[in-house]
Amino acid sequence: MSAVANLEDARSIARMLEDKRRWQFGTLERTRAHLGAKIGIEGKTWKNLVLGRRKRVDDWLKERLKTLLLRELEAEMARASHDVQIALQCGDSPSAQSLREAEGYLAKAKAALNGFG
């Protein structure tokens, strides 16, 4: 894989992670600091990656980003699967809105997981 493609993949993964966690921390700065700490970099480094200010991405950094994304997607899939099971146990029919939403989230998480696996 070329250095440019490697950088673009890392940037894309970082943006996905930001989008998934932004609601939790209130500000983008806090989100970046939290996510950066999870993979062993500073929030400023995360910001530079997302904004395209980095010229290259080391393999270890891309692998940590992928691992964090996989963990996030696996957790999302588990939550969606749980929601589907609860909806079925409560007697919701397969056409119920809550069941369709949960299945939609599950399908999106599986697709994203397959794209970066």
In this predicted structure, what is the pLDDT of residue 116?
59
Res. 37 pLDDT band, cuts 50 70 90: very high
Buried b (16+ CB within 10 A) or exposed e, 57-67: beeebbebbbe
Q: Tell me, what's the pLDDT at 13?
A: 92
> How far, in Å, CA of 50 to CA of 10, rounded?
8
Q: What is the pTM of this model?
A: 0.77
Q: What is the pLDDT of residue 103?
A: 75
Whether the per-residue pLDDT at 26 is higher than 90: the answer is no
Average pLDDT score over the chain: 85
